[in-house]
């Protein structure tokens, strides 16, 4: 049976590679569809938090005049949209629409004794037009909650008596302030209502009236406030999310997805699906960042968000503080204006984005098509991924090459029935790990062929002289005979070839994860940490166990029998710390040093696309340098482990599905090109140092006699 599997494995290996290549080719049209989709939303939209503006104005001598002036400044700076929250009596009071009193305060105003058995809320409107706009809305919301509301007036002003304590009245949620909506609309602003799921039970009539008013005011998108979308809590019993989606679709209104929330808003994914993914991604600049970050850093964040993460909406919060140092009340508005408008020396965010092709306007959803031919092509891509994963397994356990492919086919068929997304992500992750690992194993094989030679019989023992060496690996450690110029050209050829093999994994990532939900980050590619670790571990295992003169089992036995010293413990501790730092740099939450941020900004301004730091300044140069050294020194083979970081990082670049595909390609090519140049510099410095060393060592020592 063992010999039978060996024979079949030898026959099918080339067919596995053929399936892999076919899978790569099948992914290309799917990738083209994605690139077409990414070009369908060229406009960006700047949004300001209107409630923050009102809070800032509350610290001014003339709040209404200040608000009007700042609205003009915001418009001039490039902000075309105002975010309006659902209103409460407190917020309407902050906007100077009305004044709130309790029963005791009203008694004092009327020179009466406070009532002993009444604790109501009294509301006085600022003027008749405001009363006409707000009174019916307030009456509807409170009476819907079983709270009686009656007309009331005082000192020539109209008002309402709400038969509940002020503490309860001010927390009731109402539709966004209609006076503010109309005023901002008249000033030329687009409107972004922020709705929540705090009004329960879900009121279909209220929602329909609200959406009709939104449509009349030209609203094209809404943003949710809180942890859940409107209608989520009642959806299980009443299908309220479907009703809410019907209103969105009926009035042509989309939704916005906030980037990097700690937890997704409940019900958002279902609502996005029900609206055919009429979704725009939004970056939120916090109030602290709006106050403390420099204008150029804010502009840089907006530019990167649009270019690298397909963000089309920029939500700007405001902050107001009492400054002890300045002995004044300060706010973030001026900093925001400078970030958007820039100055004579540095362009602001609006100008920089327009220079990159992102016009300031109204954010649109990406237009995508599910072509009928994409599904069968995706199946071919999946078949190629299974073959590639089987090839990796076969490298470590050759007898399992064909069985792993067959098991992969059966398992994928079963998983397809259970969960499409789990199958797609699993195969994409497996192919992403397999490609760079196989590439480096191939490179190791070529280095061995040009140094030790082909000294192992097929399926048989090592034929070298040091088969029974007591050394850990046995074999030669220094290989003479090849000129430096020859090693340079061979190293460059191996560097390019290895990178090409590694990049075979890229089409499997974008071919299998071809879904609008990944581009909108409604669904994320899981297993990034495993992608960052598995190729490193597998290459290290292959290097230590499969490249010596002894068998794999002999090498395992020798490794396990090594005496553990203090030095080994220190080395393990250092490697552990390096590993933790390496993992902390992965994913969207990775941390970068201040110096690196400065360097990144320099690359952005000079090149336009930032190559990945760990690729072009670390892994790629050391890989090329290591290839050069490994053709002479066996000890340099250890650098193949470092090289795996750069090779897997290229795959990881494309695992960020929200990044435009062409940006990822440019980033990888720049990393390879700059990394190769730095690697050649390393080689040149090494050759100079080696020449000086040889000259110094070979210099005869003069006799002192």
| 177/160 same-domain check | no
| 256/348 same-domain check | yes
Residues 6+ apart with CB under 8 A from 135: 125, 158, 160
- Structural domain contains residue 700: no
- Structural domain contains residue 702: no
For residue 656, the Cα-to-chain-centroid distance in whole angstroms is 6
Question: Residue 467 has what pLDDT?
Answer: 46
Question: Residue 621 has what pLDDT?
Answer: 95
Question: Residue 324 has what pLDDT?
Answer: 83
| 223/344 same-domain check | yes
| 162/280 same-domain check | no
CA angle 109, 115, 121 (to 5 degrees): 65
Task: Give me the sign of the Cα torsion angle 617, 618, 624, 625.
Answer: positive
Domain count, the chain: 3
- Structural domain contains residue 294: yes
| 105/253 same-domain check | no
Low-confidence ranges of the chain (pLDDT < 70): 1-5, 454-475, 548-550, 558, 562-563, 567-569, 571-607, 698-705
Choose one of 337, 360, 383: the last residue of a domain: 360
| 379/284 same-domain check | no
- Structural domain contains residue 387: yes
Which residues span the domain enclosing 133? 89-172
- With beta carbons less than 8 A apart as the criterion, state whether 43 and 79 touch: no
pLDDT digits (tens, 9 = 90+) for 130-174: 999 999 999 999 999 899 999 999 988 999 999 999 999 999 999
| 582/604 same-domain check | yes
β-strand pairing of 81-87 with 174-176: antiparallel
Beta strands in 271-318 (DSSP E): 279-285, 313-316
| 64/10 same-domain check | no
| 56/34 same-domain check | no
CATH number for 306 = 3.20.20
Q: What's the start-to-end Cα distance of the chain, in Å?
A: 78
d(CA 375, CA 162): 60
3-state helix, strand, coil split of the chain in percent (to 5) is: 60, 10, 30
- Structural domain contains residue 703: no
The reported pTM is 0.87
Distances (CA, A) of 268 to 204, 243, 449, 691: 19, 14, 56, 65
Question: Residue 464 has what pLDDT?
Answer: 45
| 146/57 same-domain check | no
Choose one of 172, 200, 234: the last residue of a domain: 172
- Structural domain contains residue 325: yes
- Structural domain contains residue 537: yes
Residues 6+ apart with CB under 8 A from 424: 382, 512, 513, 515
- Structural domain contains residue 235: yes
| 69/193 same-domain check | yes
Question: Residue 702 has what pLDDT?
Answer: 56
Cis, peptide link before residue 174, omega less than 30° from 0: no
Residue (of 520, 691, 682, 529) closest to 617 by Cα position:
682
| 608/676 same-domain check | yes
Rg (CA), the chain: 33
């Amino acid at each position: 049976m063992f010999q039978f599997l060996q024979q079949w494995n030898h026959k099918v290996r080339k067919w596995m590679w053929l399936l892999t290549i076919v899978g790569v080719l099948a992914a290309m049209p799917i990738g083209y569809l994605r690139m077409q989709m990414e070009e369908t939303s060229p406009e960006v939209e700047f949004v300001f938090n209107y409630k923050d503006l009102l809070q800032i104005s509350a610290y001014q001598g003339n709040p209404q005049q200040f608000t009007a002036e700042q609205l003009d400044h915001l418009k001039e700076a490039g902000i075309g949209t105002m975010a309006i929250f659902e209103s409460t009596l407190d917020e309407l009071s902050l906007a100077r629409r009305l004044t709130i009193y309790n029963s005791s305060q009203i008694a004092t105003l009327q020179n009466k004794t406070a009532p002993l058995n009444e604790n109501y809320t009294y509301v006085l409107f600022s003027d008749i037009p405001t009363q006409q706009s707000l009174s019916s809305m307030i009456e509807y919301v409170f009476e819907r909650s079983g709270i009686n509301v009656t007309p009331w007036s005082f000192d020539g002003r109209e008002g309402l008596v709400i038969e509940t304590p002020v503490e309860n009245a001010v927390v009731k949620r109402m539709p966004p302030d209609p006076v503010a909506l109309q005023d901002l609309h008249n000033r030329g602003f687009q409107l972004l209502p922020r709705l929540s799921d705090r009004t329960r039970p879900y009121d279909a009539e209220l929602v329909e009236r609200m959406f009709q008013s939104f449509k009349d005011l030209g609203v094209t998108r809404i943003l949710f406030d809180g942890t859940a979308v409107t209608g989520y809590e009642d959806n299980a019993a009443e299908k309220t999310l479907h009703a809410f989606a019907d209103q969105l679709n009926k009035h042509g209104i989309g939704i916005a997805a906030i980037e990097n929330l700690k937890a997704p808003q409940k019900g958002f994914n279902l609502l996005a699906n029900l609206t055919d993914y009429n979704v725009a991604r939004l970056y939120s600049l916090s109030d602290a960042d709006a106050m403390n970050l420099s204008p150029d850093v804010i502009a840089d964040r907006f530019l990167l968000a649009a270019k690298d993460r397909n963000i089309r909406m920029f939500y700007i919060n405001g902050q107001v503080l009492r400054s002890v140092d300045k002995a004044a009340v300060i706010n973030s508005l001026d900093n925001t204006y400078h970030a958007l408008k820039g100055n004579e020396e540095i362009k602001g965010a609006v100008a920089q984005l327009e220079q990159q092709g992102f016009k300031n306007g109204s954010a649109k959803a990406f237009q995508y098509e599910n072509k009928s031919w994409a599904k069968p092509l995706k199946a071919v891509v999946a078949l190629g991924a299974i073959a590639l994963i089987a090839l990796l397994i076969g490298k470590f356990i050759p007898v399992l090459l064909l069985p792993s492919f067959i098991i992969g086919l059966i398992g994928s068929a079963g998983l397809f029935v259970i969960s499409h997304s789990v199958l797609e992500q699993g195969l994409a992750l497996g192919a992403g790990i397999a490609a760079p690992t196989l590439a480096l194993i191939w490179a190791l094989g070529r280095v061995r062929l040009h140094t030790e030679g082909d000294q192992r019989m097929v399926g048989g023992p090592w034929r070298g002289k040091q088969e029974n060496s007591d050394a850990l690996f046995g074999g030669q450690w220094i290989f003479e005979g090849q000129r430096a110029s020859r090693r340079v050209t061979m190293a460059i050829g191996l560097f390019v070839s290895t990178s090409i093999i590694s990049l075979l994994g890229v089409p499997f990532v974008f071919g299998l994860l071809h879904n609008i939900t990944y581009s909108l980050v409604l669904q994320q590619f899981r297993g990034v940490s495993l992608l960052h670790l598995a190729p490193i571990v597998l290459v290290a295992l292959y290097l230590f166990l499969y490249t010596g003169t002894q068998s794999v089992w002999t090498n395992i036995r020798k490794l396990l029998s090594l005496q553990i010293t203090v030095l080994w413990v220190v080395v393990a501790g250092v490697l552990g710390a390096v590993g933790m730092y390496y993992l902390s740099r992965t994913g969207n939450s990775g941390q970068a040093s201040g110096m690196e941020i400065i360097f990144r900004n320099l690359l952005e301004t000079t090149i336009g696309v930032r190559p990945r730091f760990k690729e072009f300044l670390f892994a790629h140069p050391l890989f090329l340098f290591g290839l050069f050294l490994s053709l002479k020194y066996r000890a340099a083979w250890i650098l193949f482990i470092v090289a795996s970081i750069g090779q897997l990082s290229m795959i990881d670049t494309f695992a960020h599905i929200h990044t435009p595909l062409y940006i990822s390609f440019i980033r990888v090519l720049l990393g390879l090109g700059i990394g190769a140049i730095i690697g050649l510099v390393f080689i040149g410095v090494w050759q100079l140092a080696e020449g000086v060393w040889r000259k110094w060592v070979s210099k005869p020592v003069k006799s002192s006699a």
